A = this chain, B = another copy of it.
């Protein structure tokens, strides 16, 4: 007997049916926001990841040499592929483009709750617009798709910041080692206050500076209010522009009714080096799980990949933590399959059953029938396991008089009708499962 690889999953039809409902809800929301689906290969040149992905991701690559001697890799994230496509086909595109995809991704890391070696990730991105409304679209879409799945503001917190603000703030208090400090701030929630301080001291940041950093990082709260406060205390040109763009995002999120989901939180920086502006993270309010997902602005990536300057904003949401959170709240869909009709047979009625099957399927019904030569009671048991809504009993004797029996498997109600009547107007007797 063979086993599947650790950190990968099999989905039987009932499990798959539940997942399909979740994915189709997500796709529906995202398409209402005007995002279009794209698709890219699961294997890419290794260099695509070595150029920009963080060290952590490089270490976790499923990378190998193919039979042609090229170093290739299973994709650990989608963004490099999408930017590759964008750069190589920029001439035929009309900007802005709003793209989404739900790729399978692979990372060799220790499998644990909410973290798998093979997983799905929804990716949405807007390329070509540096307008704050692009940021709002992306954040709104994130919140809306969670709401459409059944979450509300008591479950979800969206923490928003802007990396440029942090950078300006650090410069203002005399710190220029922006990237090194950023990395430490990114770890802040995972380490003790003491360790955090020591790491900063290690970079020769002074005690008073650390106090200022702490105060700044703790200045979280209502998005629009926090921004108005910052706006009155920071009049410098560089930072005013950032504040103005955050103010528009905050105002727009309020106009769209998402105020209750949002916290302004300057400690959010997102690990990846490539973010350049607004960044956000989505958490469960109870903090039982790690960040559900996050995203932000990455305006420099297209250039890094050899293209023109193309501003970009987006996020990626893995399916594993999402499923955990949905199960915790009991909003993961019921795992069951369904069909419209199962045909049970008594005696030799093959020819008639073939005709009924063909006619109903041509009309779009999901129909199955007995191919195990079982007795009637076992056929009915099986019909129930298939989630059949109705049962048609076709018996040799009844058929001589042109009759069949139709049973509603939910109510148990049964009616004897003519085969002709049933086949000519099935919609009188059956409704379709979605």
Chain A residues with a Cβ under 8 A of chain B: 1-5, 8-13, 16-17, 19-20, 28, 31-34, 36-45, 47-48, 62, 64-68, 70, 72, 74, 81, 84-85, 87-89, 92-99, 104, 106, 108, 118, 126, 128-129, 131, 133-134, 136-137, 140, 144, 248, 251-252, 255-257, 305-307, 337, 339, 350-351, 354-355, 357-358, 361, 364-368, 371-373, 382, 385-386
Contact = CB atoms under 8 A, between A and B. Distances in A.
Closest 5 CB pairs of A and B: A34-B368, A13-B36, A64-B64, A8-B41, A11-B39
A38 B13 contact: yes
A131 B386 contact: no
Contact of A366 (B9, B32, B354): B32
Contacts of A36: 13, 16-17, 337
Chain A at the B interface: SS class? mixed
Contact of A42 (B17, B32, B104, B305): B104
| Number of this chain's copies in the complex | 2
Given A37-B20, A38-B13, A66-B62, A255 B32 contact: no
Contacts of A16: 36-39
21 contacts: A2-B47, A3-B88, A4-B84, A5-B41, A8-B41, A9-B41, A13-B99, A17-B36, A32-B361, A42-B106, A66-B108, A98-B368, A128-B372, A131-B372, A133-B350, A144-B361, A248-B350, A251-B351, A252-B350, A255-B354, A257-B358
A12 B89 contact: yes
B11 A38 contact: yes
Contacts of A133: 350, 371
A64 B65 CA distance: 8
A139 to B, nearest CB: 12
Nearest to A131: B371
A332 to B, nearest CB: 16
Given A354-B255, A358-B256, A372-B131, A5 B306 contact: no
A89 to B, nearest CB: 7
B10 A41 contact: yes
Contacts of A65: 64
Given A39-B11, A372-B96, A372-B129, A2 B104 contact: no
A252 B303 CA distance: 62
A423 to B, nearest CB: 14
B2 A34 contact: no
Contacts of A371: 96, 126, 129, 131, 133-134, 137
Contacts of A251: 351
Contacts of A351: 251, 255
A1 B87 contact: yes
Contact of A88 (B2, B93, B382): B2
A40 B271 CA distance: 31
Contacts of A95: 372
